[in-house]
Amino acid sequence: MPHDPSFIVAIVMICTGGWLINNWIRAKHGYALEDEWGGKTERKDTAQSRAESERLKAENRELHGKVEAMQDRLVVLEKIVTDRGYTLAQEIEALRDERTADHGTGVPLGIEKKERV
């Protein structure tokens, strides 16, 4: 009775193909690769990516600090604008009153009316 090893070969090929596809997907997305014994193999460029990661983290902290400072300034400006003692309309009217008191007619253009002869 001859034994046909094709079934065993097919199972080994399917398992090997699955392992290759798994590692290809992991490599594509930057994960550590599995070796044939189930251990993990780090990528060779991890030192560069770690340095880049640290640089990005430092930049993120710096930008986060700037955003917090801007938010604090925005809160102060909102308090100024919404303060009950601060009325924009009254200040505009005060400027208009000041201008009309100085010039009498509003905006001075330096144009005199000439009489027709």
pLDDT single digits (tens) 18-76: 988 988 888 888 777 777 676 676 666 666 677 888 899 999 999 999 999 999 999 88
Instruction: Tell me whether residue 91 is in a domain.
Output: yes
Instruction: Tell me whether residue 79 is in a domain.
Output: yes
Instruction: Tell me whether residue 78 is in a domain.
Output: yes
Asked if residue 32 lies in contact with residue 42, where contact means CB atoms within 8 angstroms, the answer is: yes
Would you state the pLDDT for residue 70? Answer: 95
Residue 84, domain extent: 63-101
Instruction: Tell me whether residue 80 is in a domain.
Output: yes
33 exposed, middle or buried (CB, 10 Å; 0-12, 13-18, 19+)?
middle
Say how many domains are in the chain: 1
Q: CA distances (Å), 5 to each of 8, 10, 17, 63, in order?
A: 5, 9, 18, 63
Instruction: Tell me whether residue 81 is in a domain.
Output: yes
Would you state the pLDDT for residue 62? Answer: 95
Tokens 């079934």 correspond to what residue? Answer: 7
Instruction: Tell me whether residue 46 is in a domain.
Output: no
Would you state the pLDDT for residue 58? Answer: 93
> In angstroms, rounded to a whole number, what is the distance separating the alpha carbons of residues 34 and 19?
9
Q: Residues 77-88: what's their mean pLDDT? A: 72
> In angstroms, rounded to a whole number, what is the distance separating the alpha carbons of residues 24 and 77?
54
Instruction: Tell me whether residue 42 is in a domain.
Output: no
Would you state the pLDDT for residue 79? Answer: 81
Would you state the pLDDT for residue 96? Answer: 79
pLDDT surpassing 90 at residue 110 = no
Instruction: Tell me whether residue 86 is in a domain.
Output: yes
The 10s digit of each residue's pLDDT in 83-108 is 766 567 777 777 877 766 655 555 55
